[in-house]
Amino acid sequence: MRIISAILDLLFPPKCVFCAKVLSGEQYWCEKCADTLHLTIEGGKRSGEYYEYCVSPLYYMGDVRKSLLRFKFRGATLYAEAYGKILAACIRDHIDVQYDIVTWVPLSDKRKRERGYDQAKLVASATASELETELTETLRKPKNIRAQSELKGKDERVANIDGAYEAVDSEFLKDKCVLIIDDIITTGSTLEECAKTLLAAGARSIVCAVVASGTFI
């Protein structure tokens, strides 16, 4: 196995998930990026209507934005492990409630087939592994709606996402605090809809965590 790993590293050397610089060793990002990434203040904590708050370690800008776009649309799925380490650290430091379930914001089946993977599930799985907890599916997205990124205003996004999700198992959710994981938050309308759906299904409370937080104009 070590020989195979060495050959793979020679053919496909590990690269920084943010700037794509070739790395030595087992780190996921280079020293320059570690020093220059735009980190949020106090975990970027922001409150919501249906979730208590959402935390995020990074701002959605510069190399972070480029990295997440490669991950989300260009098949850079191996980035999930690095994101999971960063996000798990943020959760440990800034989520101060005891959550019972870790879950994710799912794609519709159609979008997942088109993309080939569910990027939020990959991040959530890596994060749950770092937190040494189980990942649980709590939501489905039966409606294939327009991508939120294609819409021009917050009201359009809220209307677009309304009723897009359904709970998987209401009995299991009863009186549970749920931690929802996603890749990016902008207006927060997607997380609000997920949180609203879970609360309606019996969850006690919702907290959220995402890799990066962006602004929406």
Q: What is the pLDDT of residue 143?
A: 76
The fold of 37-213 is Rossmann fold (3.40.50)
Percent of the chain clearing pLDDT 90 (strictly above)? 71
Is pLDDT above 90 for 89?
yes
Domain extents in the chain: 1-36, 37-213
The sign of the dihedral angle between the CA atoms of 43, 118, 205, 92 is negative
Q: How far apart are CA 123 and CA 120, in angstroms?
A: 5
Element (H, E) at 174: none
Which parts of the chain fold into alpha helices (H)? 2-11, 31-36, 62-73, 79-94, 109-115, 119-130, 154-161, 170-173, 189-200
pTM: 0.87
15-24, 68-77, 95-104, 115-124: least confident range: 15-24
Q: How far apart are CA 105 and CA 118, in angstroms?
A: 9
Cβ atoms of residues 192 and 54 within 8 Å: no
Q: What is the pLDDT of residue 20?
A: 86
Q: What is the pLDDT of residue 78?
A: 92
Task: List, for residues 134-167, the tens digit of each pLDDT value.
Answer: 999 999 998 766 565 555 656 666 666 777 899 9
Is pLDDT above 90 for 6?
no
Q: Which residue has the higher pLDDT, 161 or 35?
A: 35
| Range 41-48 average pLDDT | 95
Mean pLDDT for the chain? 87
